Structure formats: structure tokens, C-alpha cells
Amino acid sequence: MRRDIFQAIADPTRRAIITLIALQAMTPNALAEHFDTSRQAVSKHLRILTECELVRQEHKGREIYYQLEVNKMKEIDKWLQQFRKIWEERFDNLDKLLAKMKKK
């Protein structure tokens, strides 16, 4: 089953994993140290993120390192862009209103 990237980022643990590996590639054991959960639970989250292509595996010797797939994150940013424009317009309008009220 192919998972949706928004389904993947809906979980707070997976978002935290993304944040951690955005800084540097990490092994499941290294990631598990940041959570009050088992390594198996972290591995399950990593599997879901991998299925969504948000992270990729890199084998180095006997270790598997997970790193962020930046291009896939751009899909999320592209979707958010439509809302960013709406909020920027609203903030601009609010700035204008506040400036007008301040003059009075």
C-alpha cells in the first residue's frame, strides 16, 4: 500500500524524526535514543516515512542510515504555498488597517 505524505507527517513522532534527520543522517538506534519508545516503534515510523519517500536509506557497513529526501519535502511546501499566499494577504490587510487606526 502506498502511503500519502500527509498521512506520514500527521504523526508527531514522525515529524520529530524528520526534524532530527534533516540535520544529519541517523541510524534507527540513534533516533530511538531521542524518544521514550522502543527501537521497533521507531523502525515502524521509519518504514512509513520510507514508503512515502520522505526518507531514504543508505547502507554504511552494517549500519543503515536514514536521511531526509528534500525533494519530497518540496511537495509539502508546494501544497502549503496556496495557504501562505492567503495568510500573507490577510496579514497585509491587517497591517493596513492597524496603520489606518493608528493615524486616527
For the chain, which residues make up each domain, given as ranges?
5-103
Yes or no: domain 5-103 corresponds to CATH 1.10.10.10: yes
**Percent of the chain having pLDDT more than 90?**
71
The model's pLDDT over 43-73, given as tens digits with 9 standing for 90+, comes to 999 999 999 999 999 999 999 999 999 888 8
SS (H, E, C) 21-53: HHHCCECHHHHHCCCCCCHHHHHHHHHHHHHCC
pTM of the predicted protein model? 0.77
Are the beta carbons of 57 and 50 closer than 8 angstroms? yes
